[in-house]
Amino acid sequence: MSYRDTYAAWAEDPTGFWEAHATGLVDWITPPATTFNPEAGVYGRWFEGGTCNTCWNAVDRHVEAGHGDRAAIIYDSPVTDTKRTITYAELLDEVATLGAVLQDRGVGQGDRVIIYMPMVAEAVIAMLACARIGAVHSVVFGGFAAPELATRIDDAGAKAVITASCGIEPGRVIDYMSLLSEAIDIASVKPDTCIVLQRDVQPCSLTDGRDVNWADAMADARANGRRADCVEVAATDPAYILYTSGTTGQPKGVVRDTGGHMVALAWTMENLYGVKPGEVFWAASDVGWVVGHSYICYAPLLHGCTTVVYEGKPIGTPDAGAFWRVISEHDVSVLFTAPTAFRAIRGQDPEGALLANYNLSSLRTLFLAGERSDPATLAWAEAQLGVPVIDHWWQTETGWAISGIPMGIEKLPVKHGSPGVPMPGYDVQVLDDGGHPVPNGTLGNIVVKLPLPPSCLPTLWNAEDRFRASYLDEFPGFYATSDAGILDDDGYLHIMARTDDIINVAGHRLSTGAMEEVLAHHAAVAECAVIGKADELKGQLPLGFFVLKSGVTQDEDAIAAELVKLVRHDIGAVAAFKTAVAVKRLPKTRSGKVLRGTMQKIADAQAYKMPAAIDDPAILDEITEALGAKGLIG
Ligand code: COA
Ligand code: AMP
């Protein structure tokens, strides 16, 4: 069936479409009573009445089907010079044992477990062990600092934490344990237990009564014959919470359900990514992001593929040939990464000379997401690899692509600069600010008509009002994506910009509002603003502006350095906040709204229209002057 026919079949009968796939793709303990109940939850719920277990579907059933010897995880770590293959049978033993370790420490169905780990196989094992016992995990990216971790521990009400003694970034070791201890000190919720993976690179000391050594606990459980069975959970139960940036410092806890998550992800493997069970799928991301949840951990394993857990970077570990090495050594069929990784590789090896050292014949398709794919990078990747390069667009909230080129259905033409066509499940429309549809080719707010398809968030954790306010209230009957873009005459989407204060730094989603909250805490700062300035490698980089309180005599550069330190301490290295500039005043409208968009255009050396409502146009000259003095324009 063509893409058009498949999409039309879904549009004709959305419930029937997902019902058919739910039966074939997932093992249910009790099949769902209804495929979709529009009366349940905020906008309806998928697969109500069904019960299932994600770990069973991702692990046990493949072993039962005789695939126990197949590689489930390939852990490849250039930073520790380690490679390890874990078969499905071994993975089953690991998750059943860790599940028992958690249960023996009082973690049960519905309890929340924070996972704060580097890119090691144990991170995936921890996620699956939670799924096995019906616990709800919340993975926190390793580049977040203690206060961010504390916010998540509190909001999730974490009963336990699974962590490692350290993470390894090129040139520095991240002491996870001291970050975790600081976070637990700050948090009001105190987890009962922390399971700690000790790493040879830098083991840590453990706190009596709270911390447990992963290896010891696993050995004890094995010695006592303890193994956890798969716990039956409702399809509508939360599988995990993943915090993502909102407009304030308080991140949004995106809730993923269990049944819908499995059905949608399993559907994508064959239909969107065009992979078969047994093939090697590599998402070069991090388990801390949604791409890592869906395509390092769950989807490849649900589909019986081999997933690669890569603890390294596209460059510097040791060079710009790192990705080619991994593809050739492990016979990767499909690679999924962010465009920034390819910009980094291209920057170091523009001619692709290192490709000649490797055999990439296994690679069929490269998928890119996380930020806009600039046509130049995409064209470079196509030319170097000689395989289709597919940009696809999605969000933490959806858990899978809203648009793309469905390689398993039809290899539609690729249009550079467009992340393809809407996937079945998504009725994507473009509306003006008043909520009226705009003609094709016109820029507007991209929305998805409710209900959202399986796997998309049913709500925000403990924050249903915020869910409605953030996504549903602005355009009644639609989910607001907060992305602005265009639908063209061929039905392709073009994603142009966020409509909120989220910026995208190296494929990482960051809130400028959260950074402003940090800057505003500095005793010398009267006012501040943070914008995303265009960056050749990372897409955008945050740039801070601050106005000193009157009477402050401290050196502006010293304060700027303190602000950089503050953001790194409060949010983390991932914010990549390296520049703050003192200005006399911030440009505002007469009603007091800071004109961040205009400041961004000045920083990017783009033409701008004088905002009609600007209070004092002279301030824009002051901003230009301040940026120019620091060599920061363009
Ligand atoms: N734990 C701790 N710190 C981390 C971290 C982690 N898991 N990941 C990144 N950091 C740190 C980095 O060391 C860096 O610190 P520094 O300021 O001391 O240098 C900082 O956070 C910013 O990281 P990043 O923006 O990733 O920049 P980088 O210079 O380390 O690497 C790239 C640049 C392009 C190579 C890198 O961003 C990359 O590989 N991107 C791939 C895209 C990706 O994975 N996107 C996820 C969504 S698909
Ligand atoms: P995250 O929730 O971290 O996945 O970030 C989601 C946001 O990243 C989206 O709302 C977009 O702004 C941006 N994004 C993700 N993928 C793409 C893409 N393929 N093209 C353009 N923007 C993208």
How many whole angstroms from 367 Cα to the centroid of ligand 2? 13
What are the phi and psi torsion angles at 225 (to 5°)? Answer: 65, 30
State if residue 475 touches ligand 1 by the CB under 6 angstroms criterion: no
Question: Which residue do the tokens 């969000």 mark?
Answer: 395
Tens of pLDDT, residue by residue over 359-418, are 999 999 999 999 999 999 999 999 999 999 999 999 999 999 999 999 999 999 999 999
Nearest to 336 by CA among 277, 387, 263, 410: 387
CB crowding 41-53: b at 16 or more within 10 Å, else e: bbbbbbbbbbbbb
- For residue 198, what pLDDT is reported? 98
Tens of pLDDT, residue by residue over 486-534, are 999 999 999 999 999 999 999 999 999 999 999 999 999 999 999 999 9
170 CA: nearest ligand 1 atom: 13
Within 6 A (CB) of ligand 2 lie 244, 290, 369-372, 391-396, 419, 483, 495, 498, 504, 509
Structure tokens at 261: 């998550």
SS (H, E, C) 165-212: CEEEECCEEEEHHHHHHHHHHHCCCCCCEEEEECCCCCCCCCCCCCEE
* H/E element, 480: strand 478-487
- Mean per-residue pLDDT, 312-316: 98
- For residue 204, what pLDDT is reported? 98
How many whole angstroms from 297 Cα to the centroid of ligand 1? 20
How many whole angstroms from 370 Cα to the centroid of ligand 1? 14
Give me the amino acid identity at 62. Answer: H
- Mean per-residue pLDDT, 316-333: 98
Q: Ligand 2, atom 9: nearest CA belongs to which residue?
A: 395
Structure tokens at 320: 């710009």
- Mean per-residue pLDDT, 424-432: 98
What are the phi and psi torsion angles at 377 (to 5°)? Answer: -65, -40
Q: Is pLDDT at 634 greater than 80 in this prediction?
A: no
How many whole angstroms from 605 Cα to the centroid of ligand 1? 26
286 CA: nearest ligand 1 atom: 44
CA distance 368 to 72: 23
- Mean per-residue pLDDT, 123-143: 98
CA distance 518 to 540: 19
Tens of pLDDT, residue by residue over 225-274, are 999 999 999 999 999 999 998 877 789 999 999 999 999 999 999 999 99
396 CA: nearest ligand 2 atom: 2
β pairing state of 112-116 and 233-234: unpaired
Q: Ligand 2, atom 3: nearest CA belongs to which residue?
A: 509
- For residue 482, what pLDDT is reported? 97
